[in-house]
Amino acid sequence: MNIQLHYLIQLSDLDTQLEELKSERIRSKEESIGFRVQAKENEIIKLRENIRNKIDPELLNKYDKIQKRYKMRAVAQVNEGVCYGCFTALPTSYVAESDKNNKIITCPNCGRILFWIE
Ligand SMILES: [Zn+2]
């Protein structure tokens, strides 16, 4: 797999976890839980910065734009030819077999960055 794509998938996972923790923290009324969640968030923010530093700035910019637009899943999996970001089938022959996971490919419908399960 393209290493940049690999980092983008990790970044997307971390951003999803961060969103979940944020809403958990907002929901929780108990201070002790709030502190615990905050500590976890801080750990993830550190990991996130680490990964962001490894990603090509142009690509990162693209990712941030998609993430801002959809709030989640800026990087989507393709399953049976369907983008799992917008659940639209990709046109057949949209992507050459050899380009899958080797090039940065975006969904023609929603614009999310795509990856294939190997
Ligand atoms: Zn899509």
pLDDT tens digits, residue range 56-113?
999 999 999 999 999 888 999 999 999 999 999 999 999 999 999 999 999 999 999 9
Range(s) of the domain holding residue 98: 3-116
Query: Whole-prediction pTM value?
Result: 0.91
Domain count, the chain: 1
Q: How far apart are the first and last CA of the chain?
A: 9
CB atoms within 10 A of CB 21: 19
Q: How far apart are CA 96 and CA 107, in angstroms?
A: 14
Closest CA to 72 of 16, 2, 5: 16
| Centre of ligand 1 from the C-alpha of residue 43, in Å | 30
CATH number of the domain bearing residue 12: 1.10.287.1490
| Centre of ligand 1 from the C-alpha of residue 80, in Å | 13
Q: How far apart are CA 39 and CA 46, in angstroms?
A: 11
Q: Which residue has the tokens 């800026």?
A: 74
The DSSP bridge partners found for residue 78 are 83, 116
Task: Write the pLDDT tens digit of every residue in 4-55.
Answer: 999 999 999 999 999 999 999 988 888 888 899 999 999 999 999 999 999 9
| Centre of ligand 1 from the C-alpha of residue 4, in Å | 19
| Centre of ligand 1 from the C-alpha of residue 83, in Å | 5
